[in-house]
């Protein structure tokens, strides 16, 4: 019998209504959403028509129904899923930045599963303030007079500018006109806040005299924005925070420091360059400092604002604060993370600091174990010297010596794609035609899953 004409095959495809009457799909519509099943039928029919027109044979009815069921099943799975980060980038923004400590996860779960004293004073038996749950710890750690938590550092900057500089001028060095991830630029953030940006100095050299000359009756603030994701080297000069604070106070202005990453530990003790710390900014005389909660602090996403009591009090009362406030789960996570610093256990409990502190010997031992297992599974695996990076707009250009595993495969791009399709997905990097796995960013509890996942993918090659 000659092959059926494509148009004849198209005419023989069942209609949407006919497919919906199939027992399997009727049951599926009861178990999930009827609308979703209808959409699945239409998607499957459209795809089938395209394949027939391209020369494929029409599927059997049972195959078509299976395709619909698979599509519907995929739609009801969450798109946000845990992944294994084997890239060696510690604060990987695309992978959610800082993983949280075990204690932080417990605290967030407990806060989420029931009621809490978020805004209830247990001693007085009346309404309290949500700010207290993090403020006391933050002020003890940094020496700040007061503190406030909002939903991220960009929100913190927006709030500070809107509260203190709307309709007024903010003086900023041209060397601080940064663009952060996602294309967000400091000048555009300022514009949205209602503040007017006044640029001074040059990209590489700005003096305190440049700020002084730019001050007018419309000036509200002198501001520094830490260049967290790039470095300017060579013929450079930057006014110190102490100089800016002194000038600001002489002129009755605010001095604000957008620190970005917000390290509470001295990064030089881990063999890295010095990352500016919030407590140093306050010691220099800065009035308001803001930084992220999910970068070098190692906690959940948040923007932390610290500084003089009067300034923070004004921010707490500003109407925009309510729109930017965080919920009970975030407060629980921030508090639990900060408690690690208060207990002097951050380097042993907070995952990103544990990764930063990992020694070459530690990494070599893990990498060697991986190689032994993968070679037993007939994989071409080798331990190599390499470098891990901090990432996440922190310590730009800084790396940590690493020992990684390089796996040679026939098609590394396809292998990496299959790794991403694993459950859970495994994210690695490709260098010189080999797939690289960095133990530094693989959590201990993920190791067996990683090893088995790579072996499984290798068998599919």
Contacts of 133 (CB under 8 A, 6+ apart): 118, 331, 332, 334, 335
What is the average per-residue pLDDT within 17-22? Answer: 92
What is the average per-residue pLDDT within 377-401? Answer: 89
| pLDDT recorded at residue 190 | 79
Q: What is the DSSP letter of 293?
A: S
What is the distance of C-alpha 94 from the center of its chain? 6
Strands 169-173 and 196-200: what pairing? parallel
Q: What is the DSSP letter of 91?
A: T
Distance CA 174, CA 182 (A): 20
pLDDT per position as a tens digit, 349-363: 999 999 999 999 999
| pLDDT recorded at residue 192 | 85
Contact by Cβ (8 Å): 269, 310 = no
What is the average per-residue pLDDT within 334-350? Answer: 97
For residue 88, report the phi and psi dihedrals to the nearest 5 degrees: 85, 0
Q: What is the mean pLDDT of the chain?
A: 92
Binned at pLDDT 50, 70 and 90, residue 374 comes out as very high
Distance CA 105, CA 107 (A): 5
Contacts of 110 (CB under 8 A, 6+ apart): 116, 332
The better pLDDT of the pair 93, 8 is held by 93
pLDDT per position as a tens digit, 219-262: 999 999 987 666 666 777 888 999 999 999 999 999 999 998 88
| pLDDT recorded at residue 182 | 59
Cβ-count burial 147-174 (b if 16+ within 10 Å, e if not): bbbbbbbbbbbbbbbbbbbeebbbbbbe
What is the distance of C-alpha 104 from the center of its chain? 16
Q: How many helices (H) and strands (E) does the chain have?
A: 20, 19
**H or E element, residue 149:** strand 146-150
The tokens describing 410, both together, are 């026939």
Strands 429-431 and 179-180: what pairing? unpaired
Binned at pLDDT 50, 70 and 90, residue 2 comes out as low
Cα–Cα nearest to 429, from 441, 421, 437: 437
**H or E element, residue 52:** helix 34-53
Place of tokens 């002489």: 250
Q: Give the count of alpha carbons within 13 A of 259, CB side only.
A: 30
Share of the chain above pLDDT 70, in %: 96
Distance CA 162, CA 320 (A): 8
The yes/no answer on whether domain 84-92+354-460 falls in CATH 3.60.21.10 is: no
| pLDDT recorded at residue 402 | 95
Q: What is the DSSP letter of 310?
A: H
| pLDDT recorded at residue 449 | 97
CATH class as words, domain 100-347: alpha beta
DSSP string, 354-409: HHHH--HHHHHHHHHHHHHHHHHTT-EEEEEEEEEE--TTSSTT-EEEEEEEEEE-
Query: In the chain, what are the domain boundaries?
Result: 6-75, 84-92+354-460, 100-347
What is the average per-residue pLDDT within 311-321? Answer: 97
What is the average per-residue pLDDT within 298-327? Answer: 97
What is the average per-residue pLDDT within 337-344? Answer: 98
| pLDDT recorded at residue 414 | 96
- The total of other beta-carbon atoms located within 10 Å of residue 245's CB is 24
| pLDDT recorded at residue 183 | 60
Cα–Cα nearest to 352, from 343, 364, 366, 341: 341
pLDDT at 135 over 60: yes
Binned at pLDDT 50, 70 and 90, residue 289 comes out as very high
pLDDT at 405 over 60: yes
| pLDDT recorded at residue 230 | 61
Distance CA 63, CA 50 (A): 16
Cβ-count burial 409-442 (b if 16+ within 10 Å, e if not): beebeebbebbeebeeebbbbeeeebbbbbbbbb
Cβ-count burial 105-126 (b if 16+ within 10 Å, e if not): eebbeebeeeebeeeeeeeeee
Distance CA 71, CA 136 (A): 50
Distance CA 93, CA 392 (A): 5
């Amino acid at each position: 019998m000659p092959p059926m004409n494509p148009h004849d095959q198209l005419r023989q495809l069942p209609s949407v209504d006919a497919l919906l009457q199939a027992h399997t799909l009727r049951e599926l519509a009861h178990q999930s959403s009827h609308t979703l099943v209808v959409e699945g039928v239409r998607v499957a029919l459209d795809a089938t028509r395209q394949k027939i027109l391209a020369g494929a044979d029409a599927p059997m009815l049972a195959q078509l129904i299976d395709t619909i069921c698979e599509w519907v099943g995929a739609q009801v799975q969450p798109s946000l899923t845990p992944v294994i980060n084997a890239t060696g980038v510690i604060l990987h923004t695309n992978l959610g930045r800082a993983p949280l400590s075990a204690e932080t996860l417990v605290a967030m779960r407990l806060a989420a599963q029931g009621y809490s004293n978020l805004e209830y004073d247990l001693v007085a038996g009346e309404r309290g303030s949500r700010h207290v749950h993090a403020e006391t710890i933050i002020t003890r750690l940094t020496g700040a007079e007061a503190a406030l938590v909002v939903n991220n550092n960009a929100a913190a900057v927006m709030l500070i500018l809107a509260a203190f500089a709307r309709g007024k001028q903010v003086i900023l060095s041209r060397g601080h006109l940064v663009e952060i991830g996602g294309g967000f630029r400091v000048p555009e953030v300022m514009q949205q806040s209602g503040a007017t940006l006044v640029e001074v100095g040059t990209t590489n050299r700005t003096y305190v005299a440049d700020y002084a000359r730019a001050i007018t009756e419309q000036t509200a603030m002198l501001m520094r924005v830490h260049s967290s994701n790039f470095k300017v080297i060579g013929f450079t000069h930057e006014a110190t925070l102490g100089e800016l604070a002194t000038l600001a106070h002489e002129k009755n202005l605010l001095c604000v420091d957008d620190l970005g990453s917000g390290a509470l530990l001295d990064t030089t003790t881990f063999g890295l360059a010095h990352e500016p710390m919030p407590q140093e900014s306050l010691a220099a005389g800065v009035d308001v400092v803001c930084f992220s909660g999910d970068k070098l602090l190692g906690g959940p996403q948040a923007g932390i604002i610290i500084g003089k009591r009067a300034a923070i009090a004004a921010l707490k009362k500003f109407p925009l604060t309510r729109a930017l406030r965080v919920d009970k789960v975030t407060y629980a996570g921030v508090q639990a993370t900060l408690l690690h610093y208060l207990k002097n256990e951050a380097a042993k409990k907070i995952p990103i600091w544990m990764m930063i502190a990992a020694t070459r010997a530690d990494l070599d031992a893990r990498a060697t174990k991986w190689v032994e297992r993968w070679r037993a599974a007939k994989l071409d695996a080798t331990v190599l010297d390499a470098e891990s990076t901090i990432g996440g707009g922190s310590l730009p250009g800084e790396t940590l010596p690493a020992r990684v595993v390089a796996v040679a495969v026939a098609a590394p791009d396809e292998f990496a794609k299959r790794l991403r399709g694993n459950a859970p997905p495994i994210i690695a990097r490709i260098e010189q035609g080999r797939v690289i796995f960095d133990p530094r960013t693989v959590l201990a509890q993920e190791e067996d899953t990683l090893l088995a996942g790579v072996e499984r993918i290798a068998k599919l090659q």
